[in-house]
Amino acid sequence: MTIFEAAETGDVGFVEKYLKNGGDPCATIDGPWAQTIAYRGYANGHKNIVKAIAEYVLCEGLNVSGVAFFDVLCSACIEGDLEMVKFLYKTGEELRHSTDSYLNDAIKNNRQDIAAYILHVRPKK
């Protein structure tokens, strides 16, 4: 089994072992567009995969941001997953500083609750 198959099937134990053994939390798989481990889990309904990766990244003293989570946040804004948007904004400082595209995704998809939340938490300019 690959790390991407584990994420796709929701095998959080495999993902945690992969990370503990030095696996890259930002690894991507080639395809029509690059998909991260977190996105592969999220796209298949496994929010626990995203949370496990975020917890690992935080425990390592890193910031929940960058390649590993931007695509998940974008999808959450489009799909109306306010719980995931809140989770990622709470754990990812850098995510809060790049809100315009996520705000646009929420507005374009009539996700008013998400747009209001982003406007509330984003840094004042």
What residue ranges define each of the domains in the chain, with the CATH number in brackets?
3-121 (1.25.40.20)
Cα distances from 107 to residues 7, 90, 103, in angstroms, run: 29, 21, 6
Residues 106-119 pLDDT 10s: 999 999 999 999 88
Share of the chain above pLDDT 70, in %: 84
The whole-number pLDDT of residue 72 equals 86
Residues 28-70 pLDDT 10s: 887 666 788 998 999 999 999 999 998 888 777 666 665 567 7
| pLDDT bucket at 93, cuts 50 / 70 / 90 | low
Share in percent of the chain as helix, strand, coil (round to 5): 65, 5, 30
